[in-house]
Amino acid sequence: MSKRKHSSLKDDGSSLVESVRRLEAGVLSSQNEMNNIVDIFNIAKADSNGSEAVFAALGSLGRVYAALWTKGLLTRGKDDRESAAVKVKDWLRENYNQYIDLLRATLQKPEAPMQVAALKLLLQMIEKEGESVSKLSGSYEFPNESYLRAIEAVLDNSNASEHLLRALADSYLNSYDDLRMYFYRDIAKIASPDYDPFKKRRNGEKRENGGSALVEKVEAFVQNTFAVMSMVRVMPKRTADQLDSLWVAVPQELAGKTDIAVLSPKAHKKAFSEAWLALMRQPLTADIFKQILQTMHKRIIPYMNDPRNLMDFLSNSYDAGGSVSLLALNGLFTLISEYNLNYPQFYEKLYALLDRNLFHVKYRARFFRLFELFLGSSHLPSYLVAAFIKRIARLSISAPPSGAVIAIPVIYNLLKDHPKCMCLIHRTPGYDEETGEEKVLSGNDPYLPLEPDLAKCMAIESSLWEIETLQNHYYPNIATLAKIFSEPFHKPKFLLEDFLDHTYTTFFESDSARKLRKAPALAAQPPVALMRAGDATSDFFVF
């Protein structure tokens, strides 16, 4: 079937919209008007026609091709032979592919409404294609090849707007189980180095642009993929009965069959795991890396097919040091406690994280919540617990008030949980080298703060003289709190949450809002003149 040239249409936007409606009605009413598809397509791809006309043309083509899918005019059966009807189908399929390419190109435009509209039309075409192919083949067929190209066009798009990414996640992935499962599968495929379309295109960009285009593509893919996966709130379901929301419906005669992947909870869990592992192998920015670690224990590990696959990622993160190590703690401890991960140097690494920066970092409260959990076991040796108590006490001396106010309840709770460490409070530092008896020796503390080995730092042989320093802290609230160590240990443990979020601002607000029981006595004399004899300026003036 030959393509005819664009018919003469008025330049006015409203006239173009009316023309699109007439052309669409002609195609839907008679197969003899199929050439109208070419005219509508020309209107859709012409940016000079204005957004209203382009919107109308894109939507019109979507309705036309949806009807053609329903009628079976875009599929070829095995028994189709060379005939005029087959040539018509081939021509329609060729134009349909051009329409899909146009929608993918529309996703690259900077206008968010155009991007969202293109995504909606792409997924509508995938729905119709899946239903038509499944009906023709007699089995469930999800058109993942078409879906993969659509997902790639979204995620590999440096112009992707937040509206586009949120529309994909909220309107589709959070609502339809099949779209979500195949989305995860496609993420793993696109991120794989063996994925040919991805690899060839990027290798070409690397040669042509010296690698800059490659870096931009990878950054866009990682950024968009993480953004969408973070917006997906529906986790893999546990039973087949829960998989009841499908974009491409399973034919009734196939319902209940276990060999259909989209109805298998194991397949969904496996796809989820492969997608996250594939993303973690990409060159992540520092911000994305930290966000993944923050949500690892709640949104990733419980739904992994085999959480032990995260061992290397979490171990390397824990070894990185700084705030990254702090964020890796939760996920790593979850693997140790629930999935039998063997990490013999866990407490040595945890001890190394206790430095001056700890009381200043953003994730301080998160660390101490976990810290209390890590050292809560009664099976830990006393020398190990004593090392942590001593290190925190030493750091609290130079910590800001918001840090010292955390250190005191942490030390108190550890002493309550591990009574064998109570000797740190009552011991006076210093030993007689000949007799081995304790005695007061000025400036002698056996604790070795630079020793990384918990068994060799001699913390259990030291004392908490730092507590007495805190009892004379310049901030009276801390001094008062530290006096609890001079009282019998009959009080219950502190609720650590009450101390984790203090800052200079909260201290100021608390003190300024406090009502004084008695007004302070002031000895200021009211001035009777601008300058008085005896002032610093009195030598320059004659009174």
Q: What pLDDT does 210 receive? A: 45
How far apart, in Å, are the Cα atoms of 139 and each of 48, 155, 181, 432, 496? Answer: 44, 30, 19, 87, 58
The 10s digit of each residue's pLDDT in 400-409 is 999 999 999 9
Helix (H) or strand (E) holding 41: helix 36-45
How far apart, in Å, are the Cα atoms of 132 and each of 17, 142, 312, 349? Answer: 30, 10, 44, 58
Cα–Cα distance measured from residue 244 to residue 198, given in angstroms and rounded to the nearest whole number: 33
φ, ψ for residue 27 (rounded to 5)? -65, -40
Q: Which of 6-10, 249-253, 457-461 bottoms out in mean pLDDT, i.e. has the lowest?
A: 6-10
More confident residue, 144 or 361: 144
Contact in structure between 245 and 177 (CB atoms under 8 Å): yes
How far apart, in Å, are the Cα atoms of 142 and each of 121, 125, 540? Answer: 17, 12, 96
Q: Write down the residue that tokens 């195949």 correspond to.
A: 182
Q: What is the average per-residue pLDDT within 69-94?
A: 79
3-state secondary structure 22-38: HHHHHHHHCHHHCCHHH
Contact in structure between 448 and 456 (CB atoms under 8 Å): yes
Report the DSSP beta bridge partners of residue 431: 438
Helix (H) or strand (E) holding 145: helix 144-155
Q: What pLDDT does 6 receive? A: 43
More confident residue, 264 or 530: 264
The 10s digit of each residue's pLDDT in 331-372 is 988 898 888 888 888 899 899 989 888 888 888 888 898 898
Q: What is the average per-residue pLDDT within 2-26?
A: 67
The 10s digit of each residue's pLDDT in 470-519 is 999 999 999 999 999 988 888 899 998 889 888 888 888 888 888 878 87
Contact in structure between 445 and 397 (CB atoms under 8 Å): no
The radius of gyration of the chain from alpha carbons, rounded to an integer in Å, stands at 35
Q: Which of 184-193, 439-448, 520-529 bottoms out in mean pLDDT, i.e. has the lowest?
A: 439-448
The 10s digit of each residue's pLDDT in 149-203 is 999 999 999 999 999 999 999 999 999 999 999 999 999 999 988 775 544 444 4
* Dihedral in degrees, nearest 10, Cα atoms 211, 215, 218, 223: -170
Q: What pLDDT does 98 receive? A: 94
Which residues 6+ apart lie within 8 Å of 399 measured at CB? 356, 359, 407
How far, rounded to the nearest angstrom, does the alpha carbon of residue 217 sit from its chain's CA centroid?
Answer: 20
Helix (H, G, I), strand (E, B) or coil at 67: helix
Q: How confident is the model at residue 206 (pLDDT cuts 50, 70, 90)?
A: very low
Q: What pLDDT does 166 receive? A: 96
Say how many CA atoms lie within 13 Å of 311 toward its Cβ.
12
Closest CA to 382 of 303, 439, 469, 458: 458
Q: Give pTM, 2 decimals.
A: 0.80
Return the DSSP state at 361.
S
The 10s digit of each residue's pLDDT in 39-61 is 999 988 887 656 788 889 999 99
Q: What pLDDT does 214 receive? A: 66
Cα–Cα distance measured from residue 21 to residue 311, given in angstroms and rounded to the nearest whole number: 58
How far apart, in Å, are the Cα atoms of 397 and each of 205, 375, 393, 471? Answer: 56, 22, 7, 11
Q: What pLDDT does 203 receive? A: 45
**Whole-number mean pLDDT of the chain?**
85
Q: What pLDDT does 204 receive? A: 44
Helix (H, G, I), strand (E, B) or coil at 10: coil
Q: How confident is the model at residue 430 (pLDDT cuts 50, 70, 90)?
A: low
Helix (H, G, I), strand (E, B) or coil at 231: helix
Q: How confident is the model at residue 112 (pLDDT cuts 50, 70, 90)?
A: very high
Q: What pLDDT does 241 receive? A: 83
Cα–Cα distance measured from residue 158 to residue 154, given in angstroms and rounded to the nearest whole number: 9
Q: Write down the residue that tokens 């009628």 correspond to.
A: 71
Helix (H, G, I), strand (E, B) or coil at 401: helix
Cα–Cα distance measured from residue 279 to residue 441, given in angstroms and rounded to the nearest whole number: 58
Cα–Cα distance measured from residue 39 to residue 64, given in angstroms and rounded to the nearest whole number: 13
More confident residue, 31 or 383: 383
C-alpha angle 36/42/45, rounded to 5°?
A: 140
Cα–Cα distance measured from residue 297 to residue 315, given in angstroms and rounded to the nearest whole number: 14
The 10s digit of each residue's pLDDT in 290-347 is 999 999 999 999 999 999 999 999 988 988 878 888 889 889 888 988 888 888 888 9
Token reading at 226 = 């993480």
φ, ψ for residue 438 (rounded to 5)? -75, 140
pLDDT at 467 over 50: yes
Q: What pLDDT does 77 receive? A: 61
> Is the C-alpha dihedral spanning 294, 298, 300, 301 positive or negative?
positive
Contact in structure between 40 and 20 (CB atoms under 8 Å): yes
Q: What share of the chain is helix, strand, coil (3-state, %, to 5)?
A: 65, 0, 35
pLDDT at 423 over 60: yes
The 10s digit of each residue's pLDDT in 229-279 is 999 999 998 888 888 899 998 877 766 665 788 888 999 999 999 999 999
Q: What pLDDT does 10 receive? A: 43
